[in-house]
Structure 1
């Protein structure tokens, strides 16, 4: 949950709220300025300029140039401080935003060295603080959010500023519901109004962007092989063939990205997708659909496509199978097809690459009689780009329903792992290795159990929690007793809502008396901490540092031996050999002048292990040193598939599997993180958790499954005809040689030794015999994670 900036409010009508469709006042523009980045925006006399610090403690700098190429802070009604050093350094740091600003300056011949700087938030700021100026002349405004790379032991991550412009003449405001700028110089830039379609040719290697301008609008797409058309054959995208060859209903950027014809010719692939929800098995809307609803003669996409494709000699059809981009369809439990409003927001798009010479057709759906277009059809922007453009694969990610969409990112360690695999999957906005084919998932697993492995955990969300009330804030929001946490100690804990449901689990690092780092699995935890600090008036700051702090984990019995050969620690910090379980140390590569890192003795494998945190710029150096020492000792790279096996064996929980916001820590199997007796202070959710502990309904248990079949998460657990629980995670354990699972069951049937059954098919027709066991199934005394290995 987030506190919204003052200008934006959720779309609302008659009790229906849509936080994903924020509304700005008429005449107001919004321009995010990334931490360590900048923006350039045209300004007109009388415009109001507002700068908002979203997270706090982020300095900013403004520079304005007039039409005469002169810079004078007085044009903002401010007193300048001369040369804009912070802006100059920000523009020179190689960021994408800086490159765009430099391009804008060069286009009009402005010299940034001659700028007159106006600093903002130089004395520190609270989250949500704003400063305002009024432009006294036309000009070009540059806003910078300066900040350099954050050292692993520091907590000064650069964060985002928001620049708002309230236009004196609202007619000059950039409409927030117009198509955003093209991704590159377009070959074709065509607006398609609702109730129309457009056919076009695309050569192999060129790109197609289909953009939902105002949000909640469906666009049907079909593509024909031009090579086949030249032979008199109509070979278009076939949904059945595509689903069969891809093994997926909804192709997405990555491995499962292609669309195929019935001749198994790949026609297009998805490169970028900011929406993530589409339909690929329905027809484009047809005349019959509207006739059956009582709307004879209603304009429809299939007829529009027939008209456009007829110019290319393609025969008409009563209904066109199509990729229905942004169309939100679903199947219920009886396999009945339904629909709802699209998930797409203003500006959402899909970027395709042609895999052959094509004839394509795109539509803007006219449907106004059901939710398919949010009851209000709008326009689609169609663009094509030349082959050879550098468009990286991306699946849009949002930190919250209200947040701006972000591209899928590569971690600082990405290229190091990419030298060993091409199997990457999107995870929480980052590309992470899933497996390493030369080793194999089972080989990766055994490397951890017998020697060591290295994995990328950079997408874990990091938030710097600082200030005089930082301890009070964490004591309020976390279930553990933070007052007992010593400097240099790490604690695993839960974070809950008032009703006792979990927001996240994670670790809190104490770096100093008033300095903490929260590391969790999602952004919601950090946003919740910031909201509580603001609402309760606490003198604490919560700033995101995920992009400044990437980490690998080295896990396995040889991990200590590997790292002790690489890292030096000062006398006031424990060495790798001395580092205790759930403790951290500040170390350097080689000696006192080496690259700085933070190392904690933590992990997610059930083995002795460590996590190494560094700035992304240092990731390659860190990986290379670890690999140089570890590889000769048998260390292997590790992917998500093997990691999931190990964490299930070790009884370690995962968000979306063992818990969600309806699950309390006891139901998630981590009741030990809620010390109700020894933590006397109140905390969020305490009352509900006390009641839930006194009257438990469900419990996480271990299961052993007979028969060798591995259940799927969500499979029901039954006692006779009655469902008493569900499987949360399951695997076939290589070490134990049997199928094991974690499941949440009624406390009445949670005793070890209870015979149950896992239901499949309809839950009744097929049963897998199961027995409740204690968990973790592997190393229940945690001897191995403590570094205690039996001989052999």
Structure 2
């Protein structure tokens, strides 16, 4: 029987809502429905049972998908899931050989004895699919389903990124109780796999080098954790994680993946380090819950974690305590303006976890908190899973992040250039979902800064979000969504612009690259801008596709007076393209490294330093070759790598704004100091936010200004600005300028106090007990005529 794909409306996730409370961080699916995201260029294999409904959704559009189904006897026939077969799954075969997710699929095929060479493939979304399109199928027998979002390495001048698809399985027989979530698959084969029910505590021994995963199965559940040095216990000495020592040595409320990642004992011995954290919000201030806590609230006899820990730790001759100091994973501690410690529901979602590595042999204990009388566990205590993995396993360091509250978890990634910069530093910090260098080991921020001002630097800007905007209505969409006049943007040109909400507040700032009549590339600071473009395309029924290409384009910036001299030795351009020497400001050229046969690159004369500079875009597979060629030309001229610390100094001097500092969704472009991006007179077309911006421009309230400060104290972003007692603004960014030899700042103040020469005071401590004298000056503080970035020096 050949049942064709059934076009029904499947059940997609919706945010949890009860009594007017919406929790998008807890997306819910109907009973028996599973969701499995498949990254662009990736694959997934799942066991299927007779009667299961299979739905595949193209998240961004134009993403071809290959599907293969094997019955239990190894035969492959697309009609067994009601699909049209006869397609050779070449893309799937290539993916399984080269993609990291393909290894698990290949292992599944080998264990099952299935031959991919005999696969009867199905191709869906072959052309013209739009964001959200889906196909559904039904399984007429048991078997193995393989789904692949096929794709290839995209050249930097192309606009065909492979993007994510979502696979939904509605099980005919779910096999587990309603509203109960099962723990996700282990990260590797576990040595121990413990389930801890609410009101339980379980001890376990972990050897040096082994990994500990503490996992919140249902979401919104706290888990107290303690670890004792086994060597000290053997001597009759209790040496466990001491939160106060840890905070003091790490300089943070709790360790995070990266350099500052260790938990210490009171003897300052490191016991465990954090490898992965998908939540990033925990507690190291309070005790594990105690009998006294419940008694004082009128619940005598309530089960509590401290008593549970005392009972279980007694077998190791550890003395009982009235309340155990512990690392309370997932607990949401809040410190208010009166220094009172409060709590709210945890941030953790189902399957969130923290992964630790033991630095010595330790005795550990973990709990599932039983508290059901306050928001500590979302009023509903659930279970915790603890898994221990062998030291031979490899887990990369990562911090979990999501594009939106309801989006899938993504791990912190390495950029294509990560290993190139890792030759020069170990100081990497998480930035927008990627690891970026902070300072170079043998240089430091000041040396990197001066190299940018006097010679040249190379920096990694790969986390910038790139979205390909293509289709007949691409220009109309961009004209609608950004403040600049895109109709005037020539092919090969770039424009810096703002993107606003209807009320005039900024979503993002970024650049628009025009690659063709109907081909644009948006490069911004966050994914919200790209998602906003896709949302508007759908709501305005425009024939256009908006697809994320961030992971297809990594980019380095070569900035400084010698940047042109360096790149002209490296970049080859065909006759129809501009050479590096010919390239004007805010123009792009398409070329190659070295010669006609070198890796493909897009070079733009843009940057974020206030200096003459360029950005070079390439595919991650070519990143090392591109970096090495530029490094070979630049190092003899004094070029060095530059990290985020020095970059922040450069951009403040140059008056370049940064999201979360100079602007947010309550700040309009005029208040952010980029009024030139809102040409209300020359752009007659309507665009999102125009009406609000016209009113805001006619009745300004705030203005971004420059400040010179007396003395050497550098204010902190968020410090209040006063005229007498009244607060009239805040500091957005500040630094001590090496080249100007003084403290400078950017600030947003009331327009009544924004005139040049106005004397202001910056409040510290409580705003009144300490004041810094400042004067309003023009900005940019350095090179106000932008002669350096234009190359006129």
Check the 8 A contact 1:28/1:173 in 2, yes or no: no
CA distance in 1, matches of 2:322, 2:500: 54
Alignment of 1:496-575 (within 5 A): 496-575=500-579
273-282 vs 586-595, greater mean Cα deviation:
586-595
- 752, 755, 759: which is aligned to 1:755? 759
Aligned-pair distance for 1:461? 0.4
Q: Tell me by how many angstroms 1:173 deviates.
A: 9.9
Among 89, 93, 99, the alignment partner of 1:88 is: 93
Match of 1:463 in 2: 467
Separation in structure 1 between the aligned mates of residue 171 and residue 307 of structure 2, nearest angstrom: 43
Match of 2:252 in 1: 248
The yes-or-no answer on 1:741 pairing with 2:745 is yes
Alignment match of 2:49 (pick from 44, 50, 56): 44
Partner of 1:147, secondary structure, is coil
Corresponding position: 1:257 with 2:256: no
> Of the candidates 446, 455, 463, which is equivalent to residue 442 of structure 1?
446
Per-residue CA deviation, residues 93-114 of structure 1 (Å, 9 max, x unaligned), is 2x22111111111111101111
TM-score under structure 1 length normalisation: 0.98
Separation of aligned partners in 2, 1:653 and 1:123:
40
> 2:464·2:524 contact (CA, 8 Å) conserved in 1?
yes
Corresponding residue SS for 2:237: coil
Q: Which residue pairs with 1:60 in the alignment?
A: 65
- Count, aligned residues: 785
Residue 187 of structure 2: aligned partner? 183
Aligned to 2:26: 21
Following superposition, the deviation at residue 5 of structure 1 comes to: 9.0
| Aligned counterparts of 2:575 and 2:11: Cα–Cα separation in 1 | 49
- Deviation of 1:61 after TM superposition, in Å, equals 0.9
> Counterparts of 1:775 and 1:467 in 2: how far apart (Å)?
40
Q: 1-side partners of 2:84 and 2:366: how far apart? A: 53
Secondary structure at the counterpart of residue 187 of structure 1: strand
The 2-side partners of 1:697 and 1:538 are apart by 36
Q: Is the Cα contact below 8 Å between 1:271 and 1:392 reproduced in 2? A: yes
What CA distance in whole angstroms lies between the structure 2 residues aligned with 1:699 and 1:345? Answer: 40
Give, in whole Å, the separation in 2 of the partners of 1:748 and 1:454.
Answer: 41
Secondary structure, aligned partner of 1:171? coil
Instruction: Note the residue ranges of structure 2 that are not aligned, 5 or more in a row.
Output: 1-8
Partner of 1:597: 601
Within 5 Å, which residues of 2 pair with 1:361-372? 361-372=365-376
Distance in 2 of aligned mates of 1:344 and 1:31: 19
What residue in structure 1 maps to residue 164 of structure 2? 160
Question: How do residues 33-182 of structure 1 correspond to structure 2 at under 5 angstroms?
Answer: 33-93=38-98, 95-171=99-175, 177-182=181-186
- 1:124 deviates by 2.4
1:419-470, CA deviations, whole angstroms, 9 ceiling, x for partnerless residues?
A: 0000000001100000012011100000000000000000000000000000
Would the aligned equivalents of 2:11 and 2:29 in 1 still touch at CA under 8 Å? no
Residue 300 in structure 1 maps to residue 304 in structure 2:
yes
CA distance in structure 2 between the aligned counterparts of 1:223 and 1:421, rounded to whole angstroms: 31
Mapped contact 1:83–1:114 kept (Cα < 8 A): no
Report the aligned-residue RMSD: 1.2
CA distance in 1, matches of 2:153, 2:524: 21
- Partners of 1:169 and 1:679 lie apart in 2 by 59
Q: How many Å separate the matches in 2 of 1:5 and 1:477? A: 31
Distance 2:278 2:541 in 1: 36
Q: Secondary structure at the match of 1:92?
A: helix
Deviation sequence 1:50-87 (CA, Å, 0-9, x none)? 11100000000110000110001110122311432121
Q: Does 1:272 align with 2:276?
A: yes
Query: Residue deviations 1:450-509, cap 9 Å, x none?
Result: 000000000000000000000000100001000000000000000000011100000010
Alpha-carbon separation, structure 1, partners of 2:736 and 2:186: 49
Question: Counterparts in 2 of 1:319-338, with a 5 A limit?
Answer: 319-338=323-342
1:727 Cα deviation from its structure 2 partner? 0.2
How many angstroms apart in 1 are the aligned matches of 2:180 and 2:432? 27
- Say which of 669, 691, 709 aligns to 2:695: 691
Task: State the distance in 2 between where 1:545 and 1:262 align.
Answer: 48
Task: Tell me whether 1:782 sits opposite 2:786 in the alignment.
Answer: yes
Name the TM-score, length of structure 2 as normaliser.
0.98
Q: Choose which of 478, 482, 491 in structure 1 pairs with 2:482.
A: 478
Contact 1:27–1:173, Cα closer than 8 Å, also in 2: no
Pairing partner for 1:399 from 380, 403, 419: 403
Shift of residue 176, structure 1, vs aligned partner: 7.6
Closer, same or farther: CA 245–577 of 1 in aligned 2, 3 Å? same
CA contact (8 A) 1:29 1:174 kept: no
> Is 1:167–1:173's contact at 8 Å kept on the other side of the alignment?
no
- CA distance in structure 2 between the partners assigned to 1:138 and 1:730 by the alignment: 63
Report what 1:291 is aligned to: 295
d(CA) in 2 for partners of 1:89, 1:376: 46
C-alpha separation in 1, matches of 2:91 and 2:393: 32
Corresponding residue for residue 585 of structure 1: 589
Q: 1:175: Cα distance to partner?
A: 8.0
The answer to which of 168-177 and 462-471 deviates more is: 168-177
Cα distance per residue 1:614-668 (max 9 Å; x no partner): 0000000000001000000000100000000000000000001111111100111
Give the match's secondary structure for 2:135: strand
Contact 1:59 1:124 in 2 (8 A): no
Quick one: distance in 2 between partners of 1:280 and 1:316?
20
Q: Is the 8 A contact 2:246 2:254 kept in 1?
A: no
Structure 1 regions of 5+ residues with no counterpart?
none
User: Alpha carbons of 1:681 and 1:5: their partners in 2 closer, same or farther (altered >3 Å)?
Assistant: farther
Residue 697 of structure 1 and its aligned partner are, at CA, apart by: 0.5
* Alpha-carbon distance change, 658 to 705 in structure 1, aligned in 2, over 3 angstroms: same
Quote the residue 1:347 is aligned against: 351
Alignment deviations for residues 587-614 of structure 1 (CA, whole Å, 9 cap, x no partner) = 1111222211000000000000000000
Matched position secondary structure for 2:645: helix
Secondary structure of the residue aligned to 1:21 is strand
Shift of 1:168: 2.3
**Corresponding position of 2:619:** 615
1:164-206: per-residue Cα shift (whole Å, max 9, x none)? Answer: 1122234379988211011111111000000000011111111
Q: Deviations over 1:724-782 (max 9, x none)?
A: 00000000000000000000000000001000000000000100000000000000000
Deviations 1:118-145 (A, max 9, x none): 1101132011111111111111010111
Hey, what's the Cα distance between the residues in 1 that align with 2:361 and 2:44?
A: 38
Q: Which residue of 2 aligns with 1:711?
A: 715
* 1:207 matches 2:197: no
Where in structure 1 do 4 or more consecutive aligned residues deviate above 6 Å? 172-176
- Matched with 1:309 is 313
Match of 2:661 among 657, 661, 671: 657
Query: 1:5·1:128 contact (CA, 8 Å) conserved in 2?
Result: no
For the Cα contact (< 8 Å) 2:509–2:525, is it kept in 1? yes
Alpha-carbon contact 2:31-2:179 (below 8 Å) kept = no
